[in-house]
Amino acid sequence: MEILLVEDDDSIAEPLAAGLARSGYEVRRAASGAAALAAPPADFVLLDLGLPDRDGADVCRELRARSDVPIIVVTARSEEVDRVVLLELGADDYVVKPFGLRELVARIRAVARRTQGRSDAEGPQEIDGLAVDLRTRRVTIDGVEVALTPKEFDLLALLASDPGAVFRREEILESVWDPHWYGPTKTLDVHVAALRKKLCDPAWIETIRGVGFRLVAPGGSLPS
């Protein structure tokens, strides 16, 4: 697996790249946000937020908008609000400085397992005019594109992966937000409400009281 390491500090980047290489990874480095966005596609991205030319959060957003590459953000920001923002922007996980190489490698392996299905998908998932394309991260209804935030797309993609199946609230939070999620679940309700509004019909996402949610076509029909 080839990792794009986005880090401007040589004293951090060089030993980290060497450690990752010893762990069996190929490492290519970018020392700025512009270099990261111009780099050839990699299998994985480790992204430092403190870049010299632009905020790493903006780089994360642009990388996620163009591809499903797994992204782990490396940050010195430990406040919960910062972590939530990063996950909302499309990061798959984060590590807070300082960290150990073994912890980072474990996180890389966990994210790789969790995101493997995104790159394996073939073509859009279609349910009665609703198309969810994992490859391009586009959603359309009867051919009209629906603009979603990264987390709204990930939530819809999870529900669309098995239309009609009920996804538990805890399962959704762990899959779409963070496997270490211990925060309030209200954020899920906020995103479900936003999705229902953007899909122009609240009936697309059915609430199973006390359990979770499922995706059904308006009128209650399920895929055959």
Reported as a single tens digit per residue, the pLDDT across 127-139 is: 889 999 887 888 9
Scored b (16 or more CB within 10 A) or e, 76-114 reads ebeeeebbbebbbbbbbbbbeeeeeeeebbebbeebeee
Task: Note the pLDDT tens digit of each residue in 44-79.
Answer: 999 998 899 998 889 999 998 888 899 999 887 666
**Which listed CATH number (3.40.50.1100, 1.10.472.10, 3.40.50.300, 1.10.10.10) goes with 125-215?**
1.10.10.10
Domain extents in the chain: 2-120, 125-215
User: Is 63 strand, coil or helix?
Assistant: helix
Q: What token pair was written down for 76? A: 């010195």
pTM: 0.58
pLDDT in tens, 8-20: 999 999 999 999 9
For residue 221, pLDDT beyond 50: no
Round the CA-based radius of gyration of the chain to a whole number and report it: 18
Angstrom distance (rounded) from CA 138 to CA 141 = 10
Is residue 153 within 8 A of residue 108, CB to CB? The reply is: no
Q: Which CATH superfamily is domain 2-120 in?
A: Response regulator (3.40.50.2300)
Q: What is the pLDDT of residue 144?
A: 94
